[in-house]
Amino acid sequence: MPRQWTTPSRSLLAAATLLAATPLTAMDLTKLDLGDPHLDLIPRTHAEQSRIADVVALTDDFSATELYEDKPAGAATIRSRTDTEAFSQHSPNISFEQQLEFKLGNGLFKKLWVFSPASTLASDGLGPLYNARSCQRCHIKDGRGHVPLDAGDSAVSMFLRISIPADTPAHMAAVKDYIGTAPDPNYGTQLQDFSPPGMAPEYSFSVTYQDIEVALSGDETAKLRQPTYQALNLGYGPLHADAMLSPRVAPPMIGLGLLEAIPVDDILANVDETDANNDGISGRANLVWSTEYEQVMLGRFGLKAGQPTVHQQSAAAFAGDIGISTPLFPDPWGDCTIAQADCRNARHGDGDTRVTEIDQPNMDLVTFYSRNLAVPARRDLGDPQVLRGKQVFYDTGCTSCHTPKYVTHRLSDRPEQSFQLIWPYSDLLLHDMGEGLADHRPEARATGREWRTPPLWGIGLTQQVSAQAGYLHDGRARTLLEAVLWHGGEAQAARDTVVELPPADRAALIRFLESL
């Protein structure tokens, strides 16, 4: 029997269950002075604040579309395509010169990295342990990854993140409910299933499913897939006894620069940690460390909002997923630990004129590309069934987490994201999604049951872009209805309402989601 991992220790699960059941004390976020240090912003006037509040207020009229609803990214909205390139277009409001930057960034995003030493010095430095050879291998056509189709299929767009319990680091001491974690001493922060010849990969990824049938109103049924994950063929000894693993499928890349430009105060305005309004929803802000700005910042990116900016998210992915060093994360061996001596002692691609394996000018190009992947325009939004589905979405309470719209900051240096009315359908906050979706692995303030509300823009084009793509953090849901039916915790009441809806209304709800 190969060495493997299946579940955390009983003591760890007990601790995680206790943590999830313990009422959280609300933090006074104003004392942290989070701000938006990553943005060169122009403050809003009082008159603008009042006008914006009117614009982003929830509608109660579902007889027709709202003004500008067809352009979910404002002036950064692109015409919707019917092919697999729907998520790979640049924002139409960037300049001709910026289009060249975008194309160069696209080339770096698709670049296949190779092992060192290599004659192609600008492309060497892969791994040595890694999950993918390029960003595009995970974010397929700039959209979602997918689970392995069968036992022989690669898990290239999916991996297991890993950590063990630890004390809160000193630089996060001001965040009173920060949940300290540390890398696994043998395997680091995520498990890599690829390696060069002569070096063992860290593991083999395995997932199996058990079908769960759900009865719906109108004599309809749905079938869910309950996943079981295994880390097989561990190449560097056992995992730590308290190892916590979390499956992750790569999320879509569209609209990231606009999410980054939402004022932090507008996101924090939706925080309700103690459910003061008694609606059953208690969104919480994840608070994380910015390596770039050396301060606590609001987490916006990643499935648990574990990264504060597009740049840091991109640099962390280079390090963890591909094993490429950057000025922000300069270790040339990526995620390899001290225990993995062969990996640390292998030839790496740093030390030439670039210094790191990808230098800052090229990181800037990748960041620009990632910020400016356009959001496609809405489709069929005036269709009567879509309008009915929108009303069901609102009436069911989905907007309590999936906040429809914001207006971005005025920015002096990024006009393409400046002062845009956008419709991401996310509050970017953490919510308890119940035991069914729990990974029992915390991340910063996020508990093992909490996930960031994912933006819904473009979700109706997911499987057009990649036919094998699934939904949720681990791709278990094959359809949008399955994704809804997995909702639990704070979303349990909304999920149960969907189950009991008349079939026509349930179909209209899905039709609305498909129009986004």
Render pLDDT for 284-330 as a digit per residue (tens, 0 to 9).
999 999 999 999 999 999 999 999 999 999 999 999 999 999 999 99
Residue 193 or 3, more confident: 193
Whether the pLDDT of residue 152 is over 90: the answer is no
What's CA 228's distance to the chain center, in Å?
A: 21
Whether the pLDDT of residue 15 is over 90: the answer is no
Burial of 47 (0-12, 13-18, 19+ CB in 10 A): exposed
Dump strand ranges (E) for 267-379. 287-290, 295-298, 375-376
Whether the CB-CB separation of 326 and 335 falls below 8 Å is answered with: no
Whether the CB-CB separation of 509 and 402 falls below 8 Å is answered with: no
Work out the average pLDDT over 209-238: 97
Return the pLDDT at 118: 87
Whether the pLDDT of residue 22 is over 60: the answer is no
What whole-number distance in Å separates Cα of residue 78 and Cα of residue 66?
18
What whole-number distance in Å separates Cα of residue 389 and Cα of residue 2?
49
In the β-sheet with 220-232, what is the strand arrangement from edge to edge? Answer: 4-5, 220-232, 204-216
What's CA 439's distance to the chain center, in Å?
A: 15
Work out the average pLDDT over 203-219: 96
Q: What percent of the chain shows pLDDT beyond 90? A: 89
- Strand, helix or coil for residue 500: helix
Q: What is the amino acid identity at position 188?
A: G
Peptide bond into 128 cis (omega under 30): yes
Work out the average pLDDT over 460-475: 97
- Strand, helix or coil for residue 111: coil
Return the pLDDT at 461: 98
What whole-number distance in Å separates Cα of residue 306 and Cα of residue 288?
6
pLDDT-derived band at 18 (thresholds 50, 70, 90) equals very low
